[in-house]
Amino acid sequence: VFDRGLKAIPLSVDLWIHYMGYMKSAYPDDEDMIREQFERAVEACGIEFRSDRLWDHYIKFELECKQYSRVTEIYERLIATPTHGFLNNFECFKDYVKKYPKNKILEAVKFLELRKEVLAEIKEADAKKTHGRKIDSGSDSDDMADPIEQRTKEENLMKEKMISSRIAIHKHTAEMVALRLPYEEMVSSTLILLNILNLKTLV
């Protein structure tokens, strides 16, 4: 029944959400199959203007599965998609980045690349700071960095970089939404008018 419905109206966000709810209850132990169906869903109607709820269900599923790097990949796709909830989507992405350790939410290669970049920046900043202290004090002594403080600094800088590097994408999405909004409002008004006319014919 679902397959026939989805073939008939593949752009129905509500139908896809109901379908995914059914799949999760019918196959609770088959993560790969459910993931494939979520991919099928977002490929079919993920660019719909009001598809945010579908993306949200996909993200929650991967969070429940503790597949954090997959959640990051989904967010990266979502924040580049001009949907009605693009502002909230970016805020949720920022909250997500702030909440979880970066070695969890990034694939190993991406995490190591980001950490290498961050460590180089920290080393350069510390070298400048140490050089300034030596000039002021006339001493060659150097303080040992606190390991906990160092890890916190790394984590915070990685968080900042993950967010700042996606601001340009977010701005581009906002521009796309601005272009899309007049069309979406026109479609919405047309649908409301059609519903009113349909109701009048029923009276």
Range of the domain at 1: 1-100+166-203
Give yes or no: residues 93 and 132 share one domain. no
pTM: 0.84
Those residues with Cβ within 8 angstroms of residue 150's Cβ, 6 or more apart along the chain or in another chain: 122
Give yes or no: residues 96 and 152 share one domain. no
pLDDT of residue 137: 57
Q: What is the pLDDT of residues 157-176, one digit of tens each?
A: 999 999 999 999 999 999 99
Percentage of the residues of the chain whose pLDDT score is greater than 70: 84
Question: Is residue 203 over pLDDT 50?
Answer: no
Give yes or no: residues 5 and 76 share one domain. yes
Give yes or no: residues 195 and 156 share one domain. no
Min mean pLDDT across 74-83, 125-134, 139-148 is at 139-148
End-to-end CA distance of the chain: 32
Write out 64-103 in H/E/C secondary structure.
Answer: HCCCHHHHHHHHHHHCCCCCCCHHHHHHHHHHHHHHCCHH
Question: Is residue 4 over pLDDT 80?
Answer: yes
Give yes or no: residues 38 and 130 share one domain. no
d(C-alpha 139, C-alpha 168), whole Å? 44
> Which is more confident, 118 or 125?
118
Give yes or no: residues 120 and 83 share one domain. no
Give yes or no: residues 60 and 82 share one domain. yes
Q: How many folded domains does the chain comprise? A: 2
Give yes or no: residues 92 and 160 share one domain. no
d(C-alpha 102, C-alpha 156), whole Å? 10
